[in-house]
Amino acid sequence: MSLDDAFDEPAFVPYLAAGDPDFESSIEYVEALARGGADVIELGLPFSEPIAEGPTIQRAVVRALDGGMTPERFFEFVEALDVDVPLVCMTYYNLLYQYGDEPVRPFVERAAEVGISGFVVPDLPAEEADLLREACDEFGLDLIFIVAPTTAGERLERIMDRVSGYVYVQARLGVTGARTSLSDHTAETLARLEDYDVPKAVGFGISTGEHAAGVVEAGADGVIVGSALVDIVADGHDNDDPTADVAARLEVLARELKAGALEGSQRRSRPERT
């Protein structure tokens, strides 16, 4: 499935680590997000050194790896999912590099086969991404890049030259993790991206419907939410809650976030607010 229509209305883009805490529950969690209104789902393929992640997702990665997640299992995971939403694989470069008998291409080919729509690779800056960009073009996948509050000038152009699907706008400096307030960096970064004709999805720190509304009101085409959802998975795991209960809680928060994104765009279009 392609990302083309995913941002027709303000999009809700949730993230979960595939296989957290185990294969079967994780399938149900991802399907709950789809039911809750996800427009794109970012699926983390766990890597042992997640340098762009805060504590919440670091622990999710450990749970998923302990649960036996591997790149091959990840592809099986995607095949087992029953969702009608484009899926983006979020992982680190070494896993793309090691899979198969040459760097990157076999991984992308297999991802295309199971129906992945694109990639986010947080430790792969645009400068090192030629190989992956080529493979994505060959197999018709999108390559999403992250734009940080520090990204400007020549670097911004280089990224926007190579990006497709959507840009991942990092709301603030640092690593992933749920926050209780929004960063001022978001509006600035969005303003810098205004002239580029590609959907802008804001992530890093969004945890409530009100946040989501604020971000979309500030000009985003979508919101990416990871740690706040992963927290629900972690809580359920720590308390031994039934999978169905955890899935229900995920679906509730998903609905709130999606509704927030829609509310944000309404606020934006109200004349008195412009």
* Residue 49: closest CA among 119, 123, 109: 123
CA 189 to centroid of chain Cα atoms: 18
H/E stretch holding 269 reads: helix 243-269
Closer to other proteins by CB, 148 or 232: give it: 148
H/E stretch holding 191 reads: helix 185-193
The active-site residue out of 31, 42, 217, 251 is: 42
* Residue 38: closest CA among 85, 90, 81: 85
Shortest distance in whole angstroms from residue 54 CB to other proteins: 7
Closer to other proteins by CB, 155 or 267: give it: 155
Written as one letter, the residue type at 25 is S
Interface ranges with other proteins (CB under 8 A)? 47-54, 58, 62, 65, 70-72, 92-95, 97-99, 122-125, 127-128, 145-152, 155, 159, 170, 173-175
Shortest distance in whole angstroms from residue 115 CB to other proteins: 21
Closer to other proteins by CB, 144 or 223: give it: 144
Shortest distance in whole angstroms from residue 238 CB to other proteins: 17
How many CB atoms within 10 Å of residue 60?
30
Shortest distance in whole angstroms from residue 28 CB to other proteins: 25
Q: Which residues pair with 225 in a beta bridge?
A: 14
Long-range contacts of 77-80 (CB under 8 A, 24+ apart): 77/18, 77/19, 77/23, 77/26, 77/27, 77/43, 78/18, 78/43, 78/111, 78/114, 78/115, 78/116, 79/114, 79/115, 80/27
Closer to other proteins by CB, 94 or 265: give it: 94
Closer to other proteins by CB, 26 or 170: give it: 170
Q: Residue 42 catalytic? A: yes
The active-site residue out of 53, 217, 251, 263 is: 53
Is-contact 186 215, C-beta < 8 A?
Answer: yes
Q: Residue 53 catalytic? A: yes
Cis preceding linkage at 71, omega within 30: no
Half-sphere exposure of 23 (CA within 13 A, CB side): 14
Closer to other proteins by CB, 189 or 243: give it: 189
Q: Which residues are catalytic?
A: 42, 53
